[in-house]
A = this chain, B = another copy of it.
Amino acid sequence: MTAVSHPLESFHAVIPAGGAGTRLWPLSRASRPKFLLDLDGSGRSLIQQTWDRLHDLIPADRIHVVTGRAHAQAIREQLPDLTGLIVEPSPRDSMPAIGLAAAVIGAQHPGAIIGSFAADHVIDDQVSFAEAIGQAVAVARTGLVTTIGITPTEASTAFGYIESGERLGVEGAGSARAIRSFVEKPDAATAADYVASGSYSWNGGMFVTRTDVLLGHLERLQPGLHAGLMTIASAWTGGDRQAVLDSTWPALTKIAIDHAVAEPVSLEGGMAVVPGEFTWDDVGDFAALQDIGAASSPETIWVDAGGLAIAEDGTTIAVVGLDDVVVVRTSDALLVVARDSAQSVKDVVAELKRRGRDDLV
């Protein structure tokens, strides 16, 4: 290892900003995705909060956002100091998005380390977040693809889990361990076992890696995708960036970074995890939205009732005789959902699509 003058030297953040968040319909829409919304009433959208969290650690010119054409302008407006906006011609899932960022950043900053952070997650406790990033960057310098495993606060069945193995003994990252495996969202009993064991953490989708390490794995595991990304990256600073992007991008393999790199590399012993002791939530549904402290509209009238009631259009909501209910009213739609059924809101969006109501999704 070469000595570094600052733990986060050459560390760049990548924020993939995609996904509509169909479980938060009708607040989130294809045209107004979750990351653009101020869901917790903080005054900052989720992507602005993500930006704030990273900008506290590194300068603005080392924060990059990858998004689709539809949301580029909204992101520019919400993040006026952003210089590194990468616009995808079409959604190809997270691996092409993060891979392109790695290729572009790596070409300009050889040896750079990137960390990817979803645009629409909520994190509380900046000190612990910074601590985890510091450790993850230290581990990533050693050539391991590193993730931050969120220390579980409950036996959630809503998240994937990371099983950690032996301690790695990396300097500056005393808590880092090898990853034994990634596991999908478990059932309740399995989740309880995971949490009781102390060896499992939530997969928050935060990957920290040297660009050359990530691209090396890609070249080996997804050579076609790697080649396409390198073609685009080599044209990035030239006059034909857009032409190359438009001709190359649509043929790239549509795949998540979890399946393309994280899972296979973990089986080869090439992945590490550092603990994240902060509060984290992916705000996956309205139950989660309530958990992160979203407040009901102040005008709401509850009679023998409780839950979350949001009137985006400012009208008065009255709820009578129902507990644990979530009510969301927008100018053009209305959702009433039992908190326990919050995950099924995606079925509403599916039904709207089936009915051809693209104006509402």
Binds B, one of A249-257, A261-269, A322-330: A322-330
A332 and B316 in contact, given A341-B304, A348-B301 (Cβ under 8 angstroms)? yes
User: Once the chains bind, are A345 and B320 in contact (CB under 8 Å)?
Assistant: yes
| Residues in B neighbouring A348, C-beta threshold 8 A | 301, 303, 318, 320
User: Once the chains bind, are B303 and A317 in contact (CB under 8 Å)?
Assistant: no
Number of copies of this chain that the complex holds: 2
Nearest CB in chain B: distance from A132 CB, A:
36
Q: Which residue of B lies closest to A349 (CB)?
A: B318
User: Once the chains bind, are A344 and B316 in contact (CB under 8 Å)?
Assistant: no
A315 within 8 Å of B (CB atoms)? yes
User: Once the chains bind, are A344 and B318 in contact (CB under 8 Å)?
Assistant: no
User: Once the chains bind, are A321 and B338 in contact (CB under 8 Å)?
Assistant: yes
Complex: how many Å from CA A311 to CA B304?
23
A322 and B303 in contact, given A357-B316, A360-B316 (Cβ under 8 angstroms)? no
| Residues in B neighbouring A168, C-beta threshold 8 A | none
A347 within 8 Å of B (CB atoms)? yes
| 1/0 contact string of A73-92 vs chain B (CB within 8 Å) | 00000000000000000000
Complex: how many Å from CA A341 to CA B107?
65
| Residues in B neighbouring A345, C-beta threshold 8 A | 303, 318, 320
Q: Which residue of B lies closest to A354 (CB)?
A: B301
User: Once the chains bind, are B325 and A340 in contact (CB under 8 Å)?
Assistant: no
A188 within 8 Å of B (CB atoms)? no
User: Size of chain A's interface in residues, with CB distance under 8 A?
Assistant: 36
- Please provide the chain A residues from 292 to 330 with a CB less than 8 Å away from any CB of chain B in the complex: 301, 303-304, 309, 311, 315-322, 325, 327, 329
Complex: how many Å from CA A43 to CA B319?
29
User: Once the chains bind, are A327 and B336 in contact (CB under 8 Å)?
Assistant: yes
A352 within 8 Å of B (CB atoms)? yes
Q: Which residue of B lies closest to A303 (CB)?
A: B347
User: Once the chains bind, are A322 and B336 in contact (CB under 8 Å)?
Assistant: yes
Complex: how many Å from CA A322 to CA B340?
10
User: Once the chains bind, are A315 and B334 in contact (CB under 8 Å)?
Assistant: yes
- In the complex, besides A304-B344, A322-B338, 18 extra interface pairs with C-beta distance below 8 angstroms are A301-B348, A301-B352, A303-B341, A303-B345, A303-B347, A304-B341, A315-B331, A317-B334, A317-B335, A318-B334, A318-B335, A318-B345, A319-B337, A321-B337, A321-B340, A322-B325, A329-B334, A336-B336
